[in-house]
Chains A and B, each alone.
Chain A
């Protein structure tokens, strides 16, 4: 098996790696026979959903698992066996030949030491440098990873860095000793998409500088597409498909890979196709089905699949392997997993035009400021956080409005202000024709009945101490519905659960099922407007697709309107009719979803869209990214005039005189044709991306 693109001996070889937690019948076999190798300069992506064992495997490679985990197999770094090596031997390797970038950069940095000193320490541990030399090199490294004013920032503490900056610092530390292998475990999962683009860029640069091999562990198929050379797909602790990224994405041979790729909503596809979710849930590592672990969910399963676990075998050629007994048939195109999808019920005949439909939610110049206080005993007001600074939009009957933006943009605050039904600090909120600032108690109850909410985290949004029955009956009881029993049964059926599930507790369900319960609760009172706060972002892709389909189906069947708050732009494109993009407490751009995505007008929207990775290797490699500089300014001290001007690429391109306008005059949302609007003085002068 020699690789034409990356010659040379493998730097890291993992063979038959297994990790088991516990023992006896309750033993959990988290990793069951993982094989891979990476060569110098190669990037290997390991993808899998939560519980697939991908992170445990990388911890095992680094020797970072707790002592009660039993690890077997072999991990060879430059020909030296790491498994079972003494701590001292390992320490000599860690940070020097192999280094790691974690999902949470805070855990990799010690809070009480200055960032520069930590990098300098990483250097002096493995290299013979004087303190001054190490300091100087640390500053150079910080500069390399794109931290502005590196000499100054080196003296800062980790908590003074933003999330993106911290991850850069961790990368600087990881490449400090010019390692041969860098293992990145979900390095961008906790970051916003524009910051993710920056960090991926830094990683690419770091790899170019060091020539290291990278093992990139992630659940994000988009990140993998543009970043890696080869992909390894893990399922239930085992690799189920390995191959070059193009082959795996365009000609997958394992039904699970095909299912994963089919269930991702895509940013670049506007048509309202249904997503193809993978049925069921991943198996528990403690109770694996006999035979192929994917068999219970596989659409192509045949009785033989249950006999023995299919080995990972070369299918097309020696470098594309799949663990499926029908891979050969799939390769020849004899069978495919494309299922017949349940049709979305058509929404009546032609919907009346938008203008003639009723406004179910109108928001006008909504303002929410928080006082910024300092001091524990005597609270002094030291400033104001302008979380929401004049936001307007409307949502009409039967429509889905996606409210998108990165963390800190004020989308959640906006949502809470609407849901609270209290008089806003400024502006107006009108729900179903009623202004919420003038509501008396009885009216408020009836508005609550018509407007329901689904939260992000399906675990924390369901009271763990209540049975599903009580959870679903609660809104009914609160609104004095007698005999909630039959309704609870109908609701469970409606969201695709069994009525017998009513007696169980939320913890007995998987994430996707819990979210279905959350949706059922929101529908209990037959509302007309449902507010969805990141309803699928806590779910794995294969499960997420099912919930998105359910939401679309329910909307069509029950004539609902959705306010859909999300940070995932692909999901929004898939589900929303209109979209409003927020930046720092204001609307940057709003309009019909296909128009905004195909011809974004505002420089921020353009950058945001270009930063979202697509699960399509060829397209992804050819894409031009608009990288935004720096981080979100503090909402306590927003820039004057246009709030985006500190990071705006267009601002840099225009002349002095035009810039004055950006600095002094706050742009309002201007119509750009139809109901499309953008809050930028120079929006029309932009080329369409």
Chain B
């Protein structure tokens, strides 16, 4: 069936290819980038995320209120020109704390997702490709982490995440997110390993590690991108959940999670304390999903090309 779908592409390429000197071929990264930005979803998602990053990190620089400042003349006031998103019961400015919270959540969510997906891909692919002892040890570790009560451990460790220790938090979050995906990756690697192009690479003398990184993982990219997308949401939500119970990000620092937790108590009569943080969380997840979809198609040469 693919025959008729691709023919127009083929003709297109025929007409647009430059006259036959040299073989100028863009690298895989460039091709993926071009295709990513060629799609509507990719551009929109990327723009959305960029704006949010900009607001989260540059916003506080120009905004008069800091996230620790309290305005003792305005408690729980609705949005106004002096307090864009209104204020909290404590007199803290909602815009300032939301931006601060978004900084943390974006960084924590994206990093934790990337780390966990990368871990899942590498562990799963190595276990599936090499089998034997590598497989047994790696899968034993995965099983162990699966049975450990992640939430409890993170809660117990929460004092360690105090002031400035958020990278540790990211690592811990990631550590509890990768296992299931790595098992899926391992299974897919097992079947991929039998494919002739992997055999061909092996018999060509390509080293096993290189095969894993150049053939196995790229061919699982659809799965991995989807997984990373889901993990961003999962990481942000786990962090939110932990923060809700008072673990996770510790005060005076804030995250979208702590804000939503606090705001939910006042949401009914002071909606601005809740909805700005919740809305931004939704927009973040949406942007990440758009990027994920576009990235998946960009990696997959058989996906319909954006024209």
Contacts and interface: CB of A to CB of B under 8 A. Distances in A.
A478 interface: yes
A498 B13 CA distance: 12
Given A463-B197, A489-B23, A503-B26, A478 B206 contact: yes
Nearest to B25: A469
A489 B206 contact: no
Contacts of A445: 205
A310 to B, nearest CB: 24
B291 to A, nearest CB: 19
Q: Chain A: interface residue count, which band?
A: 35 or more
Interface stretch (B2-10, B53-61, B74-82, B278-286): B2-10
Interface stretch (A121-129, A223-231, A447-455): A447-455
B4 A507 contact: no
B4 A287 contact: yes
Contacts of A498: 20
Q: Is the interface of B mostly helix, strand, loop or mixed?
A: helix
A467 interface: yes
B25 A478 contact: no
Given A502-B25, A503-B26, A457 B196 contact: yes
A287 B8 CA distance: 9
Nearest to B299: A465
B13 A508 contact: yes
Interface string B93-118: 00000000000000000000000000
Interface string B1-38: 01110111110010001101011111010010000000
A201 B60 CA distance: 85
A565 interface: no
Contacts, number: 117
B196 A485 contact: no
Interface centre among B25, B28, B199 (most CB of A within 10 A): B25
Interface in B165-215: 195-197, 199-201, 203-207, 210, 214-215
Given A448-B203, A465-B299, A485 B221 contact: no
A456 interface: yes
A474 interface: yes
A125 B205 CA distance: 60
A407 to B, nearest CB: 17
A453 B203 contact: yes
B301 interface: yes
A70 to B, nearest CB: 16
Given A456-B196, A507-B301, A463 B23 contact: no
A460 interface: yes
A460 B204 contact: no
A287 B9 CA distance: 12
B302 interface: yes
Contact of B7 (A284, A451, A457): A284
Interface centre among B13, B26, B197, B302 (most CB of A within 10 A): B197
Given A467-B25, A469-B25, A478-B210, 15 more contacts: A284-B4, A286-B7, A287-B7, A452-B203, A455-B196, A460-B195, A461-B197, A469-B23, A470-B25, A478-B201, A485-B23, A489-B23, A492-B23, A503-B26, A507-B302
A-B pairs, top 6 by smallest CB distance, nearest first, are: A286-B4, A448-B205, A461-B196, A505-B301, A469-B25, A500-B17
21 contacts: A51-B3, A286-B7, A419-B203, A448-B204, A449-B205, A452-B204, A455-B200, A460-B196, A465-B215, A467-B25, A469-B25, A470-B28, A475-B204, A485-B22, A499-B23, A500-B17, A503-B25, A503-B26, A507-B6, A518-B200, A521-B200
